[in-house]
Chains A and B, each alone.
Chain A
Amino acid sequence: MEAVSDAVIVERVLRGNAEAFGSLVERYRDRYARYALHMLGNREDAEEALQDAFTRAYRSLARCDDPERFGAWLFRILVNRCRTLGARRGRRAKTFVFDETALLSASEDHPAEQGAWREEIDRALQRLRPEQREAFLLKYVEELGYDEMSRLTGVGVSALKMRVMRACDRLRELLSEVHSA
């Protein structure tokens, strides 16, 4: 059965059928939770950012100029919410261990195990500067092109390329340290 397009669901919501919005939540929930989780580093903040993005999207739905591309519009709101929440969280407390020694010793128990390796990736990702983490995730995990990233973030293509390059260098450095430790 052919899925109902985003534009049709948006139209239903704008006509007063608020429940129809649930289909959009179901459609984009998991897909965008991944970005929020990697960007913010913990599930609680990620769900908060995601919920905030959905409710803001609902409130501003009449301003979605291209309902066929609702997903891209929602993602833009989410990227922005993650920035705001990340900045707030950064001021409040650090969720992850940022001490280099602690980081290395934490990985010594089972460095070869897949789960441990995955944890090291998450830790290293959280140690990137937020703007580098954002650029890396958009490029390599969400697999966006630089032009689209630029439209999404409002940052120039050359600056984004630089951020991605620095993020890659830093990740290599951090994860190599873990391997060689």
Chain B
Amino acid sequence: MRDDDNVKIRDVARALREPVRVDASFNERVMRVVRELPKHSHLSFWRRWAMPRTITVRPLAASLAAASLVLFALVGLWHVSDDLDRAAKPIAKAIFPPKVAPEQHVQFVLVAPDAKKVAVVGDFNGWDPSHLGYQAQHRGGGVWAVTASVPIGHHRYSFVVDDSLWVADPTAPRVVDNDFGTTNSAIVVEEQR
């Protein structure tokens, strides 16, 4: 019986959980290095909107702003018609044609006999294992494959097995992300001639 062992793992863990104090000079050492690094100078557009912040608003100004918004919405609803919508769409399309990055179809194959689910993640799909276009199908014999569109260029990717295990493609060159230690695979997608 493990509980009867002389050495109890939980006692060991408790001893190791004792706090460790680092000399206060450590902060200064880190900050000395940080000060020599380039300062961050801006927030990305998305981060500017996503960051939590405290905003101070006068009640009177907030009420006026809310009333203006309601008024604006009502006027907008009154004026905008389906005809206008139909007319505006082709004009907008002509002025701002949708940009389509050139892509190629790439087949990703992984042999994973015990897997119940395999997906491909990479910089081309935002590293999203739930992306519908990158779910591999079981082709029998433990072989999982998916053919997906990948933009022309250099990419990093990996397989995600059963939503938890990240597996680099054994047939592709590997690259290590130094900051996070994840080993990914590298792929170069070239334009078809």
Contact = CB atoms under 8 A, between A and B. Distances in A.
A, B: real partners: yes
Interface string A160-181: 0000000010011001100110
A125 interface: yes
A141 B27 contact: no
Contact of A14 (B10, B13, B47, B180): B47
Interface of B: 2, 5-7, 9-10, 12-13, 15-22, 26-27, 29-31, 33-35, 37, 39-44, 47, 51-53, 161, 164-166, 179-183
A141 B13 contact: yes
Nearest to B16: A141
A125 B27 contact: no
Contacts of A76: 180-181
A45 B19 CA distance: 18
Candidate in B10, B20, B182 with the most chain A CB atoms within 10 angstroms: B20
A51 B7 contact: no
Given A29-B27, A51-B29, 15 more contacts: A7-B51, A14-B42, A16-B40, A16-B41, A22-B31, A33-B22, A34-B19, A59-B37, A62-B44, A77-B179, A140-B12, A140-B16, A154-B181, A154-B183, A175-B6
Contacts of B30: 22, 25, 51, 54-55
Contacts of B43: 11, 14-15
B179 A80 contact: yes
Contacts, number: 136
B70 to A, nearest CB: 31
A26 B27 contact: yes
Interface of A: 5, 7-8, 11, 13-16, 18-19, 21-22, 25-26, 29-30, 33-34, 37-38, 47, 50-51, 54-56, 58-63, 67-68, 76-77, 79-80, 83-84, 117-118, 121, 125, 137, 140-141, 147, 150, 154, 156-157, 168, 171-172, 175-176, 179-180
A179 B9 contact: no
Contacts of B7: 171-172, 175-176, 179
